[in-house]
């Protein structure tokens, strides 16, 4: 087995938090139970996807606020919050509040760009300003400035019994250092590096124009190297990878068959770039931890990182997630050189 150039230092997981429209509370509680289990198993981080107008978590910041009161150690992240749906000032307030409640464990991940299906939601989301909203990186730069403590107002002082601040309140020291950018293109990876952010990579990349036979792992590795080349911390800049990885060590025969069928059904999208944006998806990895470790050590993108947040499949059952998380923490993580935290 070829050794990884970067021993695995941090093990995390990512979930979409699906729920039944008829019983949404149960799905949200199940997600909180999963985060609690992750802490008990020793995971370093738990991350929530962001889904609007779907049957997945639409408000991960609110769910993570609840998770701060059920956990004490595990890092809590969003992967990712699309800023096109958010007011940067209000989001900065919410994130600082939850970070303080967590004791400094929040890791907000975000991205820029127009909301998905913007033409259909613009009237509800931005009825008066839809044609004037800026979804460029400038929106992210405004958000970053507010989280970092730059002025949000040109007024501060006392007015009657009310006291006002120029800066977003509360302010949580250290939060700005735990901001992550979800990048899938070479340009966005470079921008994240220039901004001094941490980088979230996932199971989706955007090949460069003219790349006739794109290779996912090679593209992801190139993006990571470009990020670090533009980051003030260089090779020490943090990068986390988020492939779909499903170990089967403790799975039943029925689970193993279902997992492999799930991965097979998603294979066609990994063969060629998809859609108008030419997005390329990574194959889902299913197998024993020994098999998965070998495949990951051979993956050019994985060889560039020492942190992962393996993505859980979208629509499995709670007992499936329990088995997968247990195998990740007790079999695959150690096979990759990870050591659970002491205590």
Res 5: pLDDT: 59
Q: In Å, how far are 214, 220, 267 from 279, measured between CA atoms?
A: 10, 12, 14
The residues pairing with 241 across neighbouring beta strands, listed in sequence order, are 201, 308
Question: What residues contact residue 76 under an 8 Å CB cut-off, 6+ apart?
Answer: 35, 45, 46, 47, 64, 67, 68, 102, 105, 106, 107
Question: What residues contact residue 203 under an 8 Å CB cut-off, 6+ apart?
Answer: 242, 243, 244, 281, 282, 284, 311
Q: Can you give the pTM of this predicted structure?
A: 0.96
Each residue of 274-321: pLDDT tens digit?
988 899 999 999 999 999 999 999 999 999 999 999 999 999 999 999
Distance separating the N- and C-terminal Cα atoms of the chain:
31
Q: Which CATH number fits domain 10-335: 3.40.1390.10, 3.40.50.300, 3.20.20.30, 3.40.50.1110?
A: 3.20.20.30
Percentages of the chain per state (helix, strand, coil), in multiples of 5: 40, 15, 40
Query: If we measure between CA atoms, which residue out of 66, 69, 71, 82 comes closest to residue 44?
Result: 71
Each residue of 161-213: pLDDT tens digit?
999 999 999 999 999 999 999 999 999 999 999 999 999 999 999 998 877 67
Q: How many residues does the chain have?
A: 343
Q: What is the mean pLDDT of the chain?
A: 96
Q: What percent of the chain has pLDDT over 70?
A: 98
Res 277: pLDDT: 85
pLDDT bucket at 244, cuts 50 / 70 / 90: very high
Res 1: pLDDT: 40
For residue 160, pLDDT beyond 60: yes
For residue 247, pLDDT beyond 50: yes
Each residue of 106-126: pLDDT tens digit?
999 999 999 999 999 999 999
């Amino acid at each position: 087995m070829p050794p990884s150039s970067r021993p695995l230092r941090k093990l995390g997981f990512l979930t979409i938090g699906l729920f039944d429209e008829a019983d949404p509370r149960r799905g949200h509680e199940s997600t909180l139970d999963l985060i609690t289990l992750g802490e008990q198993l020793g995971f370093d981080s738990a991350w929530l996807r962001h889904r609007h107008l779907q049957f997945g978590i639409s408000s991960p910041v609110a769910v993570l606020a609840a998770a701060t009161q059920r956990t004490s150690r595990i890092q809590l992240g969003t992967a990712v919050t699309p800023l096109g749906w958010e007011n940067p000032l209000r989001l900065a307030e919410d994130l600082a509040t939850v970070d303080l409640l967590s004791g400094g464990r929040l890791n907000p991940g975000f991205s820029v760009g127009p909301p998905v299906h913007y033409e259909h939601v613009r009237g509800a989301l931005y009825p008066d300003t839809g044609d004037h909203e800026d979804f460029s990186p400038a929106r992210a730069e405004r958000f970053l400035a507010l989280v970092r403590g730059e002025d949000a107002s040109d007024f501060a002082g006392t007015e009657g019994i009310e006291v006002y601040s120029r800066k977003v309140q509360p302010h949580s020291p250290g939060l700005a250092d735990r901001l992550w950018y979800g990048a899938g293109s070479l340009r966005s990876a470079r921008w994240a590096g220039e901004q001094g952010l941490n980088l979230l990579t996932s199971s989706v990349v955007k090949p460069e124009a003219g790349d006739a036979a794109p290779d996912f792992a090679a593209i992801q590795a190139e993006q990571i190297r470009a990020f670090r080349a533009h980051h003030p911390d260089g090779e020490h800049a943090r990068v986390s990878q988020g492939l779909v990885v499903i170990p089967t060590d403790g799975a039943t025969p029925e689970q193993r068959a279902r997992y492999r069928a799930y991965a097979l059904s998603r294979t066609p999208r990994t063969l060629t770039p998809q859609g108008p944006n030419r997005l390329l998806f990574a194959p889902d990895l299913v197998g024993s931890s020994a098999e998965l470790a070998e495949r990951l050590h051979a993956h050019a993108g994985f060889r560039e990182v020492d942190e992962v947040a393996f993505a859980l499949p979208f629509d499995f059952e709670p007992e499936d997630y329990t088995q997968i998380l247990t195998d990740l923490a007790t079999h695959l993580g150690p096979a990759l050189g990870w050591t659970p935290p002491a205590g």
